[in-house]
Amino acid sequence: MQQNIKDILHPDFKVGVLGAGQLGKMLALAAANWHLPLHFLDAAEDFPAAGLGASFQKGDFAQYDDVLAFGLDKDVLTVEIEHVNTEALAELERRGVKVHPAPDKLALIKDKGLQKQFYLEKGLPSSHFELFEDENAVKAAVANGKWAFPFVQKSRTAGYDGKGVSIIRSEADWGKLLPGSCLLEECVDIELELAVIVARNENGEIAAFPTVEMEFNPVANLVEFLVCPARISPEIEAAAKALAKRCIEAYALCGLLAVELFLTKKGELLINEVAPRPHNSGHHTIDSAYTSQFEQHLRGILNLPLGDTRSKCPAVMVNLLGSEGHSGPTYYAGLAETLAIPGVNLHFYGKSHTKPYRKMGHATIVAETLEEAVGNARKVMERLRIEAR
């Protein structure tokens, strides 16, 4: 059933968000356009979103009791991070609170092993994989010839931003093996890394944003550069969107699903992993799309009509990472020179302390052509440095 917009925009209608980081902050900014107050749960009052909500509850979103107590008086709950207590969310759902993404699907997505099994069961294309109890079982599988180098090892539950991923090329890399429950994936021959942000509401309406192309910082293994539209053929664009739509339909999720894809050198599309929330690969939509991913997430979880996903103009998104060799109180070096570049939109997350490669903000550079946006994005990367005071 369609939510009544009058009820949603009633001052007593409460939307709770687990996590008050930068994604929560940008969600609160989108909600503020509708004067829709959000309520946040997270560990510290100086987190990016904490001051922007109608209320902030100090607590641990990974703890059952904290999540239950936070959720009881909310109408709708959502997350800005996957690593939350899904048992408490399931209990809240039983007690009548609407929870998007659905707790069982969130639990599945949190575990990269279960996520891969899901794609296998649903016939969604993804790389070949196998689950292992620990790193010793991985070594045994190599010793008995079941797996050959190179391969990718991933922690089932601990990873984010490339931290739970290790590429093992030979026995010389045994020291890089991650401890504990894991999976091995075949090493995909990657031509491009792409992402499609897709949204769904309870009515079953689905809409995908244009595909984006990612470039990684080779040291930190973080996306540092993102290009929209992706430089791919119309056929691959259509196939990527269709795959993302199949994926959100298979999960039957409401709100956003960010679908990270590999385009292989043979031209095949494989699902790498998904995130059921706003995502780094959709930040540019704030400045370059008819509807931002954050507003689209709200529309999805509140069962409102989904927004127009078209781009207004080409865009490049640059993650602003803490500079190497700098740990301490944040200082934005080169700010004036950066603001002098045409088409620059700076988004700082308000993190009081920087450290190397920490995500401190992002810049979206818009222009009439993608070439111009890429050129100006390179200037931003040269001029702006996040240093310690």
* 155 binding ligand ADP? (CB under 6 A): no
Helix (H) or strand (E) holding 64: helix 64-71
Q: Considering beta carbons, is residue 31 or 183 the nearer one to ligand ADP?
A: 183
* 249 binding ligand ADP? (CB under 6 A): no
Bridge partners (DSSP) listed for residue 151 = 168, 186
Min dist. Cβ of residue 314 to ligand ADP (A): 23
What's the token pair of residue 141?
A: 């599988």
* 152 binding ligand ADP? (CB under 6 A): yes
Q: Considering beta carbons, is residue 188 or 315 the nearer one to ligand ADP?
A: 188
x/- track of binding to ligand ADP for residues 91-130 (CB under 6 A): ------------------------------------x---
Please state the length of the chain: 389
Q: Considering beta carbons, is residue 127 or 354 the nearer one to ligand ADP?
A: 127
Min dist. Cβ of residue 167 to ligand ADP (A): 7
* 178 binding ligand ADP? (CB under 6 A): no
Amino acid at 123: G
DSSP conformation class of 281? G
* 308 binding ligand ADP? (CB under 6 A): no
* 334 binding ligand ADP? (CB under 6 A): no
Long-range contacts, stretch 232-241, CB < 8 angstroms, 24+ apart: 232/192, 232/194, 232/263, 236/211, 236/263, 236/267, 236/269, 237/210, 237/211, 239/269, 240/194, 240/196, 240/211, 240/269, 241/196, 241/198, 241/208, 241/210, 241/211
Ordered DSSP codes for 98-161: EESS-HHHHHHHHSHHHHHHHHHHHT--B--EEEESSHHHHHHHHHTTSS-SSEEEEESSS-ST
Stretch that binds ligand ADP, among 65-73, 95-103, 182-190, 336-344 (CB under 6 A): 182-190
* 323 binding ligand ADP? (CB under 6 A): no
* 272 binding ligand ADP? (CB under 6 A): yes
- The contact set with ligand ADP (CB under 6 A) reads 127, 152, 154, 159-165, 185, 187-188, 190, 193, 216, 221, 260, 272-273
